[in-house]
Structure 1
Amino acid sequence: MKVQIDSGRCQGHGRCYDIAPRVFGEDGEGYGSVPGDGSVPPGDEREARLAVASCPERAITLTEGE
């Protein structure tokens, strides 16, 4: 499973990195970021899905099976 953030849509609410801090980070301006290649660490799939569903701008894309 991988995640990706559309930086053009992200408004910096921070829900993603509050919900799933091992999956998401924040850049220097408080916007969400995805460390590395966006792979979700084993065991963090539930939190990643919750973060995707909680994003008000729907700026996060989740790809299954990677």
Structure 2
Amino acid sequence: MRIGVDPDVCEAHGQCSVVDLDLFPLDDDGYSAVGPDREVPPGEEEAARIGVDACPVRALRVLLG
């Protein structure tokens, strides 16, 4: 499973990092530092889905394939 963030949509709400700061790191300004394509470690898939769903502006996504 992979996740990604659209930096043009992210508004630095930080709700993803509340779910799991290691999986959803923030930069120094509070914006998502996930990047466009990040591998989710085995066993962290549920936390990844919850973190993606926590974004109020839908800047995060689960990547297919």
Question: In which range does the TM-score fall when normalised by the shorter chain?
Answer: 0.7 to 0.9
Long gaps (5+) in structure 2: none
* Alpha carbons 2:25, 2:34 under 8 Å: kept: yes
* Alpha carbons 1:17, 1:26 under 8 Å: kept: yes
What is the percentage of aligned positions where both structures have the same residue? Answer: 39
Give the aligned residue type for 1:24. Answer: F
Scaled by the length of structure 1, what TM-score is found?
Answer: 0.85
Give the 4+ runs in structure 1 shifted more than 2 A: none
User: What do you get for the CA RMSD once the two structures are aligned?
Assistant: 1.5
Alpha-carbon distance in 2 for matches of 1:25, 1:51: 11
Long gaps (5+) in structure 1: none
Tell me the number of residue pairs that the alignment of Structure 1 and Structure 2 aligns. 64
State the 1:64 CA deviation: 4.3
* Alpha carbons 2:24, 2:51 under 8 Å: kept: no
